[in-house]
Amino acid sequence: MPSRFRTQTEAWVFAVNFYDATNGAIGWIGRQRVAGSFIYRSKEYLRLRQAMIVTISDTHLGTDHLGPRYNNREDVKAFLRYLRDDLRPDHLVLNGDIEDLWRRDIRTLTRENYDVFYRFRELQEQGTAVHYVLGNHDWYARRDVRCGGVSYYTEDYAESLTLTDAGTTYTFMHGHQFDPLQEVWYFDKLALISDDAFGAKFSHLWEVFAEIEGLSDGVETVQRLVVDRLTRGPWQQRIERMDRCQTGCDAEAELHEAQKYADSALDTGVLCTGHTHMAGITADGRAANSGAWVGGQNTYLVIDDGIRVLEWNDGSPRERSARVEV
């Protein structure tokens, strides 16, 4: 049977082109979702899986100048690089208090942490959906949705988020909803009048009134601020009481409240929260807390055919297998 190639040179050219095309196709397949699954590369292994969701909370960006107790900014950057280059999750949920707007101005904070926010943009570009759920410390961020014209997140800020994996519905809320000391009405006010630490400056009070909508709202604002000052003491004390990363809180009690919420909500299989800075999963698996990235602890949740708590551990992730009895 005659050869399809007229010369040996043509045969070699065909072989080289075929090799290049095949090698490129294999590389492309390794980066794409195929038939509902996803083949991805990591430093350790190749694995066939369903959609992966990673959630972090309480990074408190903008507070690194206050010391390591407040913020592990460099660890956050390294972790986001790990997500981009190795883990490649389908979803990253930023579950509140990513920015600390009770201590920093939103424009200054964004400018100083541009390299962190740009990591979110890079994750989006490689196919990871980045979701931002509001917490008490970054509640004011919704007023600056595009962060100076640049969208770092897949959609605008949300108070809660629902995603489904392997037939289970996961709801994401920051968790301040289960903290009896948190009052949403004050969140914007605290962001507007607080300085870089946690005090208040009288010269900033005009900003509170600049946000007032209408006479009735103005009267209510004045009344509440006056009553709060008379009955609860100076603003500094008010902030200290509401600032749970300063004073601590009953993490198990709040996890129990999250568990009860998951049990009662028809559209929630598992509720994922943050806020308390204490990572853990209830024994029945109905509620989970992602912990925080402050004070030397760097924890997060991974949802991949089940839910797990992991410690960043300086780039060598380690699972916490113990469950919390509440």
Does the model's pTM come out above 0.85? no
Token couple for 230: 């008379």
pLDDT tens for the chain, 326 residues long, are 444 555 555 555 565 566 556 555 555 544 443 333 333 334 333 334 568 999 999 999 988 776 666 778 899 999 999 999 999 999 999 999 999 888 787 888 888 999 999 999 999 999 999 999 999 988 888 776 544 445 667 767 889 999 999 899 999 999 999 988 787 877 877 776 655 444 334 334 434 444 545 556 656 666 766 676 666 666 566 666 666 554 456 788 889 999 999 999 988 999 999 999 999 999 999 999 999 998 878 999 999 989 999 999 999 999 998 888 76
For residue 255, CA distances in Å to 6, 169, 234, 252, 287 come to: 74, 18, 31, 5, 7
For residue 230, CA distances in Å to 120, 189, 218, 219, 281 come to: 43, 17, 18, 17, 41
For residue 139, CA distances in Å to 39, 55, 190, 193, 210 come to: 37, 18, 10, 14, 17
Residues 6+ apart with CB under 8 A from 48: 37, 38, 39
**CA separation for the pair 213, 116 (Å, rounded):** 34
**CA separation for the pair 209, 2 (Å, rounded):** 89
* HEC readout, 69-93: CCCCHHHHHHHHHHHHHHHCCCEEE
**CA separation for the pair 192, 326 (Å, rounded):** 37
Token couple for 133: 């759920």
CATH 3.40.50.12780 for domain 51-180+243-320 = no
**CA separation for the pair 184, 218 (Å, rounded):** 17
**CA separation for the pair 135, 58 (Å, rounded):** 8
DSSP strand E in 57-148: where? 91-95, 129-133
